[in-house]
Amino acid sequence: MNLAAFPRTKLCQAPTPLEFLPRLTKALGGPQVWMKRDDLTGMGLGGNKVRKLEFLVGDALAKGADHLVTQGAVQSNHVRQTAAVAAKLGLACTAVLEHRIETNDSAYLNNGNVLLDRLLGCTIEYQPGGTDMQAAIEEVGARLTASGARPYLIPGGGSNAIGALGYAAVALELVTQANEQGLRIDRLVHATGSAGTQAGLVAGLHALSSPIRVLGIGVRAPREKQEANVLRLAQATAAHMGVDRPVPAEAVEANCDYVGAGYGQPTPGMVEAVRMLAQLEGIFLDPVYSGKGMAGLMDLVRKGTFGPGENLVFLHTGGSSGLFGYVDVFNAQAA
Ligand SMILES: *Cc1c(COP(=O)(O)O)cnc(C)c1O
């Protein structure tokens, strides 16, 4: 795996810490739980999208772009990180936000990531739930081109074979770090949505012939669809990296039992996970992704899915600024 061939703009504070979580491990009474802190990538309050943006923006700059265009749900962490990177590099940024969740809640509509998007000077357009969001950014791109700008379109979540290189790079970073710390990692668990994080990890670990198994906890799509999306993108990413051994379907595993009523809809397990990580480890998860990912990890530990001697690493993908968009959910259950 040689990532040096790809244009890349350094944006992350890396390597991010790989930490043992002693109080969570004790409370769960199962395997040893570690955390890879990609909530601490640094740029614009951090998170997993900065990893992908290193390669996406590298490509954008190589192509002479002056305007980043992307899309996401109203409380998108990806949009916030893209807007921060654009500001840092002096690029314009337009984001199309989808009202994917039906709500009039003022915190959801104005606080959290939306507040930060506005502070970052990002131009925001809104679309109703169910809009074809890729078509929406293509329309914005055409409009910008017609007005003389040089837009670069980034798909939702930054999830294509270029963005996913960011997580192939994390596979190498994590394997190196674990070797240095003398840690044998059995499983890597994280929240999976637009699939680029898991696809990049799977492609990178495959390229390294690492035995670490990746488990994605879904936040939106049902299992079959999620696994198909991850596998397709992992294969495209491996091909893009010039890995000629095909990524086997068995390398892709997603558990989509923790979505609840839908994308961005709170679940009791998510609220419990967010509170437990705060109170046991002083770490903030988020309501849409890492909270549900950790809820899945905790439930699977309690069900005895993992052996007591296993070492689990939870990849914290960031997103805690989204908590401020969910004020009532946490205040109601803060007793
Ligand atoms: C986007 C996001 C994810 C999911 O990553 P994908 O690459 O879209 O699957 C997980 N956690 C957080 C906090 C995110 O913002």
204 lines ligand 1 (CB under 6 A): no
Whether 74 shows a pLDDT value over 60: the answer reads yes
pLDDT-above-70 percentage for the chain = 99
Q: What pLDDT was estimated at residue 334?
A: 54
Q: How confident is the model at residue 333 (pLDDT cuts 50, 70, 90)?
A: low
Catalytic residues: 76
CB 319 within 8 A of CB 290: yes
Concatenated DSSP letters of 60-113: HHHTT--EEEEEEETT-HHHHHHHHHHHHHT-EEEEEEEE-S----HHHHHSTH
- Give the Cα separation of 299 and 290 in Å (integer): 14
- Give the Cα separation of 164 and 189 in Å (integer): 17
Best probe residue, ligand 1, of 43, 289, 316 (max atoms within 8 Å of C-beta): 289
Assigned token pair, 261: 């009523």
CB 61 within 8 A of CB 90: no
Whether 289 shows a pLDDT value over 80: the answer reads yes
Least Cα distance to 317 among 189, 229, 231 occurs for: 189
| 26-37 tens-digit pLDDT | 999 999 999 999
pLDDT-above-90 percentage for the chain = 97
290 lines ligand 1 (CB under 6 A): yes
Average pLDDT over residues 273-289: 98
Q: What pLDDT was estimated at residue 14?
A: 97
197 lines ligand 1 (CB under 6 A): yes
Average pLDDT over residues 262-280: 98
Q: Where are the alpha helices (DSSP H) in the chain?
A: 22-28, 49-62, 77-89, 106-110, 113-119, 133-146, 165-181, 196-207, 223-240, 268-281, 290-302, 327-332
Whether 101 shows a pLDDT value over 80: the answer reads yes
DSSP state at residue 46:
-
Q: How confident is the model at residue 207 (pLDDT cuts 50, 70, 90)?
A: very high
Whether 335 shows a pLDDT value over 60: the answer reads no
Query: Which numbered atom of ligand 1 lies nearest the CA of 159?
Result: 7
Cα(68) to ligand 1 centroid in Å equals 19
Average pLDDT over residues 271-288: 98
Peptide bond into 15 cis (omega under 30): yes
- Give the Cα separation of 307 and 182 in Å (integer): 19
- Give the Cα separation of 257 and 45 in Å (integer): 29
235 lines ligand 1 (CB under 6 A): no
CB 114 within 8 A of CB 79: no
| 185-196 tens-digit pLDDT | 999 999 999 999
Least Cα distance to 253 among 201, 326, 311, 302 occurs for: 201
Average pLDDT over residues 70-87: 98
- At residue 9, the 3 state secondary structure works out as coil
Average pLDDT over residues 282-302: 98
Cα(163) to ligand 1 centroid in Å equals 12
Q: Mean of the per-residue pLDDT values for the chain?
A: 97
| 162-171 tens-digit pLDDT | 999 999 999 9
79 lines ligand 1 (CB under 6 A): no
Q: How confident is the model at residue 2 (pLDDT cuts 50, 70, 90)?
A: confident
286 lines ligand 1 (CB under 6 A): yes
| 133-153 tens-digit pLDDT | 999 999 999 999 999 999 999
Best probe residue, ligand 1, of 35, 41, 48, 116 (max atoms within 8 Å of C-beta): 48
- Give the Cα separation of 203 and 164 in Å (integer): 9
Cα(159) to ligand 1 centroid in Å equals 10
User: Strands 123-128 and 187-192, how do they pair?
Assistant: unpaired
Query: Which numbered atom of ligand 1 lies nearest the CA of 76?
Result: 15
Residue 104 falls in which region: left (phi positive, over 0), alpha (psi -120 to 50) or beta: alpha
